[in-house]
Amino acid sequence: MRRRSLRARLWLSALISITLALLIAWLGLANLFERHVERHIGVELEVRLNQLAAAVEIAPDGSIRLTQEPQSPAFAQPLSGHYWQIDRPGQPGVRRSRSLWDEVLILPDDDLAPGLIHAHRLPGPAGQSLLVRERRIRVSADPEPVELRLILAQDRAELLVARANFTADMRPYLGLIAFLLTLATLIQIQTGLAPLEALRREVGAIRVGRASRLVAQGADEVQPLVAELNALLEARERSVERARAWTADLAHGLKTPLSVLATDAERLRRAGHPDLAEDLDQLALTMRRRVERELIRARVRSGHPPHAARAEVVENLARLLHTLERTPAGERIDWHITATERITVALMADDLLELLGNLLENAAKWARERVEIQVSMSLEAAGQVEIRIADDGPGVPPEHWPRLGERGLRLDERQVGTGLGLAIVRDVVEAYGGMLGFDHAGLGGLLVWVRLPEAHSLD
């Protein structure tokens, strides 16, 4: 169990509560059973005590005799745990059952009115614990009535055996109750946490772009959280829109200075300074590329894409290749595409074009003659589209693969470039929750693969 898990905490508290409840029930029922049996034994002792009182009489010689002794074999068995005894004032045990053998029960000298019954719990023969009932009676005799003390006792061992049997019989039922309570706890926890699970799914839908807001439904206790999250999403959207507006303003603001640089370069060329003009053109081009790519980085990092973001991969690949095949670097390459028709990814079209454009430009830069492009559904990640681009260039040693995509990294300074292409690819992939990786290409060069989330149907 994880200590921070709400489900684990609920289970822990429920199991503790169930255990305590069953323990209390077990002890309580066992004690109630013991008290009930003890009361039942007490009633039997009182009945026999009354029978003994009815059978006592005083003989003419002053001795005590019984018209009928209590009829139970246990009273005749030594130390059986069932005893009766008759005391006279100052003479305990004048008459007693054979089961007492040579023992005499000594009771406290309490003030007992005739006819009343007192209950005691006293030690007995052989270490027994006895339940005792006593009663004082007056028996007619000459020259005056005789006061006698009648005693009936029973060993508590039988009670303890009955309690042990009762608790043993209770175990299966307590186990069944424990199972039912655990099942009820499972249902309760599942039902109680269902709104949170629904909320998690809705947040996940927002993260992957299938929704833009949380649905206001479910338990009343969750509604304040839903409202706060929706307010947070709205505030973030406004912030993202402001950031996008700011980046657009920045792009427009930089267009004029860059245009001025291009104009100045043309003037220098006309004035007979071609080398200086070429340097100024390269400077303006590098600045323009950096500005464009940094604006793209700012856009994809500014927040999650709209929930309706979708772009068709093969269609955009065809557009890019149509343009690349007209460039000096692209026209010499044999471009080969293997793709499943109509594969759609959950990306904005501009971001997909930027990602594919950088990958294809990078492949064209290093390839000798051939570039292979494969588009398919990923076999390793469900719901992901995999794009693999391989070239027949010199490749990249495996020790450099983890660093590919670092901002400004250029492994070969002889090649023209800014080192931002793969960095932009990594930014776009990470912004949409995809993956980027590198491997050896079958053509001998570098294999670049990306996994992007598949766009869900609009139906």
Does 257 share its domain with 184? no
C-alpha torsion 251→257→263→265, nearest 10: -110
Binned at pLDDT 50, 70 and 90, residue 299 comes out as low
Out of 141, 174, 207, a domain closes at 207
Distance CA 309, CA 315 (A): 16
Q: What is the 3-state secondary structure (H, E, C) of the chain?
A: CCCCCHHHHHHHHHHHHHHHHHHHHHHHHHHHHHHHHHHHHHHHHHHHHHHHHHHEEECCCCCEEECCCCCCHHHHCCCCCEEEEEEECCEEEEEECHHHCCCCCCCCCCCCCCCCEEEEEEECHHHCEEEEEEEEEEECCCCCCEEEEEEEEEECHHHHHHHHHHHHHHHHHHHHHHHHHHHHHHHHHHHHHHHHHHHHHHHHHHHCCCCCCCCCCCCCCCHHHHHHHHHHHHHHHHHHHHHHHHHHHHHHHHHHHHHHHHHHHHHHHHCCCHHHHHHHHHHHHHHHHHHHHHHHHHHHCCCCCCCCCCEEHHHHHHHHHHHHCCCHHHHCCEEEEEECCCCEECCCHHHHHHHHHHHHHHHHHHCCCEEEEEEEECCCCCCEEEEEEEECCCCCCHHHHHHCCCCCCCCCCCCCCCCCHHHHHHHHHHHCCCEEEEEECCCCCEEEEEEEEECCCCC
Question: Hey, CA dihedral for 88, 89, 91, 97, is it positive or negative?
Answer: positive
Contact predicate 10/1, CB 8 Å: no
pLDDT per position as a tens digit, 127-173: 899 999 999 988 887 778 888 999 999 999 989 999 999 999 999 99
Distance CA 285, CA 347 (A): 28
Does 319 share its domain with 272? no
Distance CA 304, CA 324 (A): 30
Structural domain count of the chain: 3
Cβ neighbors of 124 (< 8 A, separation 6 or more) are 81, 83, 103, 105, 130, 153, 155
- pLDDT at residue number 350: 82
Cβ neighbors of 380 (< 8 A, separation 6 or more) are none
Contact predicate 440/395, CB 8 Å: yes
Residue 344: inside a domain, yes or no?
yes
Distance CA 21, CA 24 (A): 5
Percent of the chain at pLDDT > 70 equals 89
Averaged pLDDT for residues 65-81: 89
- With a cut of 60, say whether residue 415 has pLDDT above it: no
Out of 300, 335, 354, a domain closes at 300
Residue 188: inside a domain, yes or no?
yes
Residue 53: inside a domain, yes or no?
yes
User: Which of 388, 371, 283 lies closest to 332, judged by CA?
Assistant: 371
- pLDDT at residue number 193: 85
Residue 458: inside a domain, yes or no?
no
Residue 218: inside a domain, yes or no?
no
- pTM, full prediction: 0.53
Give the lowest-confidence range in 139-143, 253-257, 430-434, 437-441. 253-257
Residue 99 CA to its chain's centroid (Å): 66
| Joined tokens for residue 128 | 């027994």
Residue 151 CA to its chain's centroid (Å): 65
- pLDDT at residue number 342: 82
Binned at pLDDT 50, 70 and 90, residue 262 comes out as confident
Contact predicate 396/269, CB 8 Å: no
- pLDDT at residue number 423: 80
Taking all residues of the chain, what is their mean pLDDT, rounded to a whole number? Answer: 84
Does 160 share its domain with 242? no
Between these two residues, 2 and 16, which has the higher pLDDT value?
A: 16
Range of the domain at 268: 224-300
| 375-414 as b/e: b if 16+ CB within 10 A | beebeeeeebbbbbbbbbbebbeeeeeeebbeeeeeeeee
CATH of the domain at 379: 3.30.565.10
- pLDDT at residue number 329: 78
Does 238 share its domain with 296? yes
Give the lowest-confidence range in 222-236, 299-313, 352-366. 299-313
CA distances from 261 to 249, 269, 277 (A): 19, 12, 10
Does 243 share its domain with 315? no
- With a cut of 60, say whether residue 414 has pLDDT above it: no
Does 383 share its domain with 433? yes
Contact predicate 153/131, CB 8 Å: yes
Averaged pLDDT for residues 89-116: 86
Does 277 share its domain with 357? no
Does 187 share its domain with 278? no
- pLDDT at residue number 418: 44
Does 358 share its domain with 320? yes
Q: How crowded is the C-beta side of 13, counted as CA atoms within 13 Å?
A: 8
pLDDT per position as a tens digit, 9-66: 899 999 999 999 999 999 999 999 999 999 999 999 999 999 998 899 888 888 888 8
Residue 459: inside a domain, yes or no?
no
Averaged pLDDT for residues 258-266: 78
Does 438 share its domain with 356? yes
Binned at pLDDT 50, 70 and 90, residue 191 comes out as confident
Out of 300, 321, 338, a domain closes at 300
Does 253 share its domain with 324? no
- With a cut of 60, say whether residue 313 has pLDDT above it: yes
Contact predicate 336/371, CB 8 Å: yes
Residue 201: inside a domain, yes or no?
yes
Between these two residues, 456 and 80, which has the higher pLDDT value?
A: 80
Does 288 share its domain with 319? no
Give the lowest-confidence range in 44-53, 65-74, 331-340, 401-410. 401-410
